[in-house]
Amino acid sequence: MSPAPDMTDPQVADLVVRTLATKSRDASVPAEPFDPTRRTSFSDVDAGGPELMATEPDATPSRARGHRRVRWIVPLAAAAVALVVVAAGVAVAGRDDRDTTRTERHPVAEQPTDTPDGALLPGWMPEGLVPWGGSWSRPPMWSPESPLQLFKGDGDAVLMIELKPDNFVSSGGDPVTVRGVEGGVVPPPGDIPDAPGMLHWREGDTGGSIDVTYANMSVDEVVAFLDGLTWRGPDRQDGFVPPTSGDLRLAGDVGPPTSAALTTDYLFGDPASPPRTQHEGRYIWFQAQSARGRQDAMSYFMSLLRDGELPAADGDPDMQIDPDTAVVSWPDGRTVMIRSRGVSQADLRRVVDSFAPATGQDLDRLAAAKGARLAALPLVAQASLPSATVELRDGGGLDRAACVHLPGREPACGWLGFMPDVEGEDLGVEDASVLIDGTWYALAVGTVPVSLTSEDPLNPTTLPLANETATDGPYSFALALPADEMQHVALYRDGSLSYYLSRPESDYPGG
């Protein structure tokens, strides 16, 4: 049937809507995880300069970064590039990560201060919902935590300096001479009002690149301003002495952040209506992130470029709640995302309002309740290995647990679980990564052969990793006790790398 020739504009528009919606489903979406080493034929294309920030105000809130499949999947092909970039990042993380003191070396403006530290947990849950699964973690640091200096002119001119640490070097752009050395500059695109440009250079024998993001200034004005700056001292990470004359004045100044973000990722379910998959039962799932120093400062400073003003650091959170979803983001960088099923909107709002930094005791209680539930799931397979008895427990659907069971102890279990709005792929593999008396037990169990190796793109090692293996019916078990210096192990499924397990968190930095 052909479309009628006398269609009105709304009818044609409706046809377009239906056509595009239908045809968009013809596109197949790659199943592979993101590979940062796979370059494309478009790498030389200037896409108009949105590289630094979005320009559209109508999209998803910036902090609503959503959530992800539980498993951290890093393709082998990604390792080569990841090593170069991330190994340095880990060195930085290793220096600062465990300190919970948030220091701002040169507080000038109203940038976030006194941010509540600590993993965020709800203080209230609707009746009947109990801890089902989940954990807290420190996300790995993939980028440097650099000091920042923000300068603002009387008009719209804005300039932000990022002092990258050693080993982080920027490149690219048109050649530009700044402070007597050659750097690179990517001017803002001409067709986007207030879009930022970027300039970078290296100075002296030590230190990484100095990156500048600017808006509403010409390259000549930027270079002139930078040429006039003097260092505060021999440590370049201390930044520049703020100029006392000229148009641009210091508007914000933060040293390296000394606290790491903490993520909580938990499911609370109703035993009377168990959530065996995301499509059944009654539950509340949430992922929350505590504030993170430099990244939050940068986002906060970037708001000056985007909006022309800095929001109040202690302002109200941006909150969106619909019948089963809530997304909350605070100006200081804290975020909470919730998905629920079978929970009233009023209760959901009450949960949202109850989020607060957790104590170590809070997390211990949560882990104990969750652990007891997993250890009570029906046992479907087990094997005795030299270091421990290993088990597979199955509550139906995706409610499965792999457990390490030491004599005289309760089983310590990992949970497969699900993400509410992600159709998780059931790999036929379960794992547990647990600390028992300071020893890391990494366990894989699957309906295909499984093994664990010491591969770790973040902390390369040549140390071997012995596997204790066994089978029980259709299930294969592999257990390893990684050395203290190992932070990740690779889980192989049927000969192919599936994902990595991380050393369990043990030293909660909160109160």
Site for other proteins in 172-231 (CB under 8 A): 191-192, 213
Which three-class secondary structure state does DSSP give residue 360? helix
Q: Which of residues 74-133 bind other proteins (CB under 8 A)?
A: none
Per CB under 8 A, the list member of 1, 272, 312, 346 interacting with other proteins is 1
- DSSP string covering 401-426: EEEEE-TTS--EEEE----TTS----
Q: Which of residues 24-63 bind other proteins (CB under 8 A)?
A: 24-30, 33-36, 38-43, 45-48, 50-56, 58-62
- DSSP string covering 192-228: STT--EEEEE--SSSS--EEEEEESS-HHHHHHHHHT
Asked if 504 touches other proteins (CB under 8 A), the answer is yes
Asked if 481 touches other proteins (CB under 8 A), the answer is no
Interior angle at CA 493, CA 488 and CA 494, nearest 5 = 145
Q: How far is the CB of 213 from other proteins (least distance, A)?
A: 7
DSSP letter for 189, please: P
Per CB under 8 A, the list member of 94, 107, 123, 139 interacting with other proteins is 139
Per CB under 8 A, the list member of 236, 306, 334, 373 interacting with other proteins is 306
Q: How far is the CB of 37 from other proteins (least distance, A)?
A: 10
Asked if 478 touches other proteins (CB under 8 A), the answer is no
Is residue 381 within 8 Å of residue 367, measured between CB atoms? no
Q: How far is the CB of 240 from other proteins (least distance, A)?
A: 20
Q: How far is the CB of 488 from other proteins (least distance, A)?
A: 7
Q: Which of residues 353-392 bind other proteins (CB under 8 A)?
A: 364, 367-368, 370-371
Distance CA 129, CA 319 (A): 23
Which pair of structure tokens corresponds to residue 134? 């989940």
Asked if 473 touches other proteins (CB under 8 A), the answer is no
Strands lying side by side in the sheet with 263-269: 130-137, 263-269, 283-289, 335-341, 325-329, 318-322
Asked if 143 touches other proteins (CB under 8 A), the answer is yes
Q: Which of residues 321-340 bind other proteins (CB under 8 A)?
A: none
Which three-class secondary structure state does DSSP give residue 140? coil
Beta strands in 245-354 (DSSP E): 249-254, 263-269, 283-289, 318-322, 325-329, 335-341
Residue 16 or 466 with smaller CB distance to other proteins: 16
Which three-class secondary structure state does DSSP give residue 373? helix
> Count of CB atoms within 10 A of residue 380's CB?
15
- DSSP string covering 436-477: ETTEEEEEEEESS-EEEE---SSS--------EEEEETTEEE
Q: Which of residues 12-31 bind other proteins (CB under 8 A)?
A: 12-13, 15-30
Distance CA 331, CA 23 (A): 39
Asked if 159 touches other proteins (CB under 8 A), the answer is no
Per CB under 8 A, the list member of 304, 351, 432, 445 interacting with other proteins is 432
Q: How far is the CB of 64 from other proteins (least distance, A)?
A: 9
Per CB under 8 A, the list member of 184, 486, 502, 509 interacting with other proteins is 502
Q: How far is the CB of 117 from other proteins (least distance, A)?
A: 18
Q: How far is the CB of 12 from other proteins (least distance, A)?
A: 5
- DSSP string covering 288-314: EE---HHHHHHHHHHHHHHHSSPPPTT
Residue 95 or 409 with smaller CB distance to other proteins: 409
Q: Which stretch binds other proteins (CB under 8 A): 88-96, 107-115, 277-285, 403-411?
A: 403-411
Q: Which of residues 238-267 bind other proteins (CB under 8 A)?
A: 263, 265
Asked if 70 touches other proteins (CB under 8 A), the answer is yes
Interior angle at CA 292, CA 287 and CA 298, nearest 5 = 120
Q: Tell the residue number behind the tokens 């932070």, with chain if given.
A: 487
DSSP letter for 376, please: T
Q: How far is the CB of 374 from other proteins (least distance, A)?
A: 9
Q: Which stretch binds other proteins (CB under 8 A): 231-239, 311-319, 350-358, 434-442?
A: 434-442
Residue 35 or 221 with smaller CB distance to other proteins: 35
- The residue type of 340 is S
Q: How many residues bind other proteins (CB under 8 A)?
A: 104
Q: Which stretch binds other proteins (CB under 8 A): 101-109, 249-257, 277-285, 408-416?
A: 408-416
Asked if 453 touches other proteins (CB under 8 A), the answer is no
Is residue 197 within 8 Å of residue 188, measured between CB atoms? yes
